[in-house]
């Protein structure tokens, strides 16, 4: 896997999660419940491409109230699933970290690093 295919940037001003591969031309978009999450050509006016990052919980929430989620807690896919409350004991599969330059978004559920990977737009 090309490391660029696992680099996604989050732009808080547009709320877009952009794939670094292909010159940031592809964005993660919400479909209500998708596994794995999907990408499409970026369009800042498309509400389905707008995600809000919660610094307190570490969740990325879509405008459809779905969140990025590690599939089945241990799966290989990052999916989109209903957002969990901060008090939910199973929230950890929805907790993501953005590194300092906003280029890599990861989940470390049970000490296993999970990254979104752009396979093919």
φ, ψ dihedrals at 113, nearest 5°: -75, 125
Q: Which two tokens stand for residue 119?
A: 């396979």
Q: Which two tokens stand for residue 26?
A: 């592809």
Q: How confident is the model at residue 92 (pLDDT cuts 50, 70, 90)?
A: confident
Mean pLDDT over all residues of the chain? 81
- Region of 73 on the Ramachandran plot (φ > 0 left; ψ -120 to 50 alpha; else beta): left
Q: What is the pLDDT of residues 39-61, one digit of tens each?
A: 899 999 999 999 999 989 999 99
Instruction: Looking at mean pLDDT, say which of 5-9, 76-80, 86-90, 94-98 comes out highest.
Output: 86-90
The mean pLDDT of 6-14, rounded to a whole number, is 86
Q: What is the pLDDT of residues 17-27, one digit of tens each?
A: 998 888 888 99
Q: How confident is the model at residue 2 (pLDDT cuts 50, 70, 90)?
A: low
- The share of the chain scoring above pLDDT 90, in percent, equals 34
């Amino acid at each position: 896997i090309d490391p660029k295919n696992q680099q996604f940037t989050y732009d808080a001003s547009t709320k877009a999660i952009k794939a670094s591969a292909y010159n940031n031309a592809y964005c993660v978009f919400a479909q209500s419940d998708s596994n794995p999450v999907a990408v499409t050509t970026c369009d800042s006016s498309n509400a389905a491409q707008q995600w809000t990052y919660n610094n307190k919980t570490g969740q990325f929430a879509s405008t459809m109230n779905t969140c990025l989620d590690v599939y089945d807690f241990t799966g290989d896919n990052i999916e989109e699933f209903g957002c969990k409350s901060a008090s939910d004991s199973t929230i950890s599969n929805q907790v993501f970290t953005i590194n300092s330059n906003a280029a890599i978004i990861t989940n470390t559920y049970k000490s296993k690093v999970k990254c979104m990977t752009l396979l093919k737009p």
